């Protein structure tokens, strides 16, 4: 990565933290959306992502680099594929937006 490029960071524990958004919000999808903005399974996917990051980072909320966020999101997606098709679909949309799959 050249010095002119900045590392993408993502929030965890909350949708926004220190000017960074969680992967879902950064993809234009609000995990807490209601009505027409509700995406089934997305809140559950985001909460599972938060849990994976929180298990490896200090603090309930914060920011992490893209590789940490990607690793946590992909681990969450692997579990969703085994357990919840709706959550899997929502998680795949976010991952595809970020070119993680």
Strand, coil or helix: 31:
coil
Q: CA-to-CA distance for 87 and 43, rounded, in angstroms?
A: 8
**Quick one: pLDDT at residue 34?**
86
Q: CA-to-CA distance for 71 and 85, rounded, in angstroms?
A: 20
Q: CA-to-CA distance for 39 and 51, rounded, in angstroms?
A: 20
- Those residues of the chain that have pLDDT short of 50 are 1-5
**Quick one: pLDDT at residue 6?**
56
Strand, coil or helix: 81:
helix
């Amino acid at each position: 990565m050249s010095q002119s490029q900045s590392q993408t960071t993502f929030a965890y524990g909350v949708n926004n933290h220190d000017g960074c958004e969680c992967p879902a919000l950064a993809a234009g999808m609000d995990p807490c959306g209601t009505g027409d903005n509700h995406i089934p399974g997305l809140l559950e996917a985001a909460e599972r992502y938060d849990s994976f990051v929180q298990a490896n980072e200090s603090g309930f909320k914060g920011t992490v680099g893209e590789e940490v966020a990607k690793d946590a999101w992909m681990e969450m997606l692997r579990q969703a594929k085994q357990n919840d098709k709706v959550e899997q679909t929502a998680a795949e949309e976010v991952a595809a937006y970020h070119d993680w799959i």
